[in-house]
Amino acid sequence: MSVEQPVAVNPHPFLDGRPKRLLIDGKWVDSDSGQTLPTLNPANGEMLAEIPDGTASDVDRAVTAARRAFEGEWSRWSPYDRQRALVRLADLVEANYDDISMLDTLEMGAPWSRARISRRAVGLLHWFAAMAVTIHGETIPNSLPGQFLSYTVKEPVGVVGSIIPWNGPTTSAIWKIGPVLATGCTMVLKPAEEASLSSLRLGELCVEAGIPGGVVNIVTGRGEVTGAAIAAHPDIDKVAFTGSPETARHIVRASAGNMKRLTMELGGKSPNVVFADADLDAAIPGSATAVFMNCGQVCSAGSRLFVEEKIYDRVVEGVADVGSQLRVGPGSDLQTDMGPLVSEQQFSRVMSYFDVGRDEGAHQVSGGGRLREPALENGWFVEPTVFSQVHNDMRLAQEEIFGPVIAAIPFNDIDEVARLANATPYGLGSGVWTTDVRKAHALAARIRAGAVWVNCYQAMDPAVPFGGYKLSGYGRESGIQQLDEYLNVKAVWVNHG
Ligand code: NAP
Ligand code: MG
């Protein structure tokens, strides 16, 4: 379908009024709680669907199914069988992408016009399909006297508990499902309360793709209940988590009992550095998009904008201008550049940071409030916002806001900006805008973060590892590094003397 032809938003085929169910052992079942949670459209406050309010016993049932699948038929699937399943899933996701991305748009607000074009989930699945047949160990020479052969094999870690946030629901889910299928693990997926629908739809497509029952289980519900049950479950071998450092600490502690493998994709307060010699026609819109994209609800948003003193005013005015021109509205409207925040909670949080910025003495250059047009008054819409005269030690510059807020900080030279860029507990993304290649490499080497984007921001590819330093977490997603997080290495020694 061409981009110009929108599909029908209402009624959405997945929103048929019936309460959703859990996917356990290849079957759609009710929660033991018998209760549901409403899921709301942040653009107008309307209820979209009811999702099961899952319990610890639901998680337990899902883990039992996942363990059985891990040891059963699935374990006898060859890498080529798993590859074919991933290709079938990729084809199904691609064929249904408009509807799946619309579920995300309706549930968490992201502009549909962008979501449906990027189709990142499809690219990820193709990449994992390709990688499924490349996993192998090594033959390693050893120095033992006599004749010993030593080699390694890579084996799936087992049952994985995958817990994801709401800010990029389809991509997050596929980023967890892909490596499970590629390596031969099985999983219990816990989507975020605010955005579970696309995960449930992906579950249907996993069934349709012929993935055996129990390999992909989906348990919705509240994090403190179902997420906590996953973190503590003695028969889960690994937790793959994406979310906030606060929740991550709970998971680290709860996972200690059976020493689970963990990967942690957490938050950020990423520095984006613009030098005076940068191509400002690229750096200004690039720096604005680095924060305003997805209404600032991006873990690697370039929310600390460091600008060299000489061009500070020009860049600050430039990004504020870009922000003011964005069309803010419901994500389902094809004209929309920036949608609402995901929830009332997130809205209150972002609004409170507008006050924090003003109270700390930062200068509000643009935005800084709620959008009050009648058409938007029932949604969680805020203005793209720029603060200048920010010091790196202000809360505005140190705390992750997860909203469309730029904190602009001046600097004089590369030593100063390298020091300030690293003066944060986080280390996820970073940007450098300059036409001087030496400066770009010099700063890239000094920034302590999992990604440095030079003259671009948020470039991503399934083959290139993504993840954090410091409080932004550990482990990587994408790249062969991600597959290794789902594999154990076994050494085999053979005395053939
Ligand atoms: P969050 O509150 O940590 O929630 C993430 C997930 O954890 C949700 O599914 C949540 O369930 C669940 N959860 C909550 N409490 C739990 C507990 N005690 N035990 C186990 N699981 C629990 O994070 P969020 O506010 O939804 O998402 C925003 C954060 O995610 C930001 O910090 C952002 O930077 C980070 N993020 C990082 C990346 C990355 O790749 N590095 C990507 C996207 C987002 P409920 O929804 O039911 O609460
Ligand atoms: Mg939450």
For the domain that residue 121 is a member of, what is the CATH number? Answer: 3.40.605.10
Domain, as residue range, for 174: 22-266+473-491
Q: Kindly tell me if the per-residue pLDDT of 327 is higher than 90.
A: yes
Question: Among this protein's residues, is 246 annotated catalytic?
Answer: no
Residue nearest to atom 9 of ligand 1 (CA): 192
426 close to 273: Cβ distance less than 8 angstroms: no
Say if 241 falls within a structural domain.
Answer: yes
Q: Is the CB of 269 under 6 A from ligand 1?
A: no
Percent of the chain with pLDDT over 70: 98
Are 317 and 436 members of one domain? yes
Are 240 and 224 members of one domain? yes
Are 352 and 245 members of one domain? no
Query: What pLDDT, in 10s, does the model give residues 369-420?
Result: 999 999 999 999 999 999 999 999 999 999 999 999 999 999 999 999 999 9
Query: What pLDDT, in 10s, does the model give residues 134-171?
Result: 999 999 999 999 999 999 999 999 999 999 999 999 99
The helix (run of H) or strand (run of E) holding residue 171 is helix 169-183
User: Which DSSP string corresponds to 426-440?
Assistant: EES--EEE-S-HHHH
Which one from 107, 295, 299, 399 is the annotated catalytic residue?
299
Query: What pLDDT, in 10s, does the model give residues 52-106?
Result: 999 999 999 999 999 999 999 999 999 999 999 999 999 999 999 999 999 999 9
Say if 216 falls within a structural domain.
Answer: yes
Q: Is the CB of 224 under 6 A from ligand 1?
A: yes
Q: Kindly tell me if the per-residue pLDDT of 254 is higher than 60.
A: yes
Q: How many helices and strands (H and E) does the chain possess?
A: 16, 21
User: Whole-angstrom Cα distance, residue 305 to residue 278?
Assistant: 14
Q: Is the CB of 85 under 6 A from ligand 1?
A: no
Say if 467 falls within a structural domain.
Answer: no
Q: Is the CB of 343 under 6 A from ligand 1?
A: no
Which one from 265, 308, 400, 485 is the annotated catalytic residue?
265
Number of domains in the chain: 2
The pTM for the full model equals 0.97
Question: Among this protein's residues, is 265 annotated catalytic?
Answer: yes
Report the residue among 193, 242, 476 best suited for mutation to probe ligand 1: largest number of ligand atoms under 8 A from its CB. 242
CA distances from 30 to 51, 76, 107, 139, 188 (A): 10, 30, 22, 49, 16
Say if 466 falls within a structural domain.
Answer: no
Are 387 and 485 members of one domain? no
Q: Residues with Cβ < 8 Å from 396, sequence gap 6 or more?
A: 353, 356, 357, 360, 362, 387, 390, 405, 407
- pLDDT tier at 2 (50, 70, 90 boundaries)? very low
Are 260 and 287 members of one domain? no
Q: Kindly tell me if the per-residue pLDDT of 9 is higher than 70.
A: no
Phi, psi for 154 (deg, rounded to 5): -105, 130
Alpha-carbon dihedral 252, 256, 261, 265, rounded to 10 degrees: 0
Are 236 and 361 members of one domain? no
Report the residue among 188, 244, 405, 466 best suited for mutation to probe ligand 1: largest number of ligand atoms under 8 A from its CB. 244
Say if 262 falls within a structural domain.
Answer: yes
Q: Residues with Cβ < 8 Å from 166, sequence gap 6 or more?
A: 107, 108, 191, 192, 193, 194, 195, 342
Query: What pLDDT, in 10s, does the model give residues 353-369?
Result: 999 999 999 999 999 99
Query: What pLDDT, in 10s, does the model give residues 20-37?
Result: 999 999 999 999 999 999
- Closest residue by Cα to residue 21 from 199, 229, 215: 199
For the domain that residue 383 is a member of, what is the CATH number? Answer: 3.40.309.10
Are 334 and 426 members of one domain? yes
pLDDT at position 11: 77
Task: Label residue 216 left, alpha or beta by phi (over 0 means left) and psi (-120 to 50 means alpha).
Answer: beta
Report the residue among 247, 300, 460 best suited for mutation to probe ligand 1: largest number of ligand atoms under 8 A from its CB. 247
User: Whole-angstrom Cα distance, residue 73 to residue 124?
Assistant: 25
CA of 343 to the centre of ligand 1 (A): 14
The arithmetic mean of pLDDT across residues 445-473, rounded, is 98
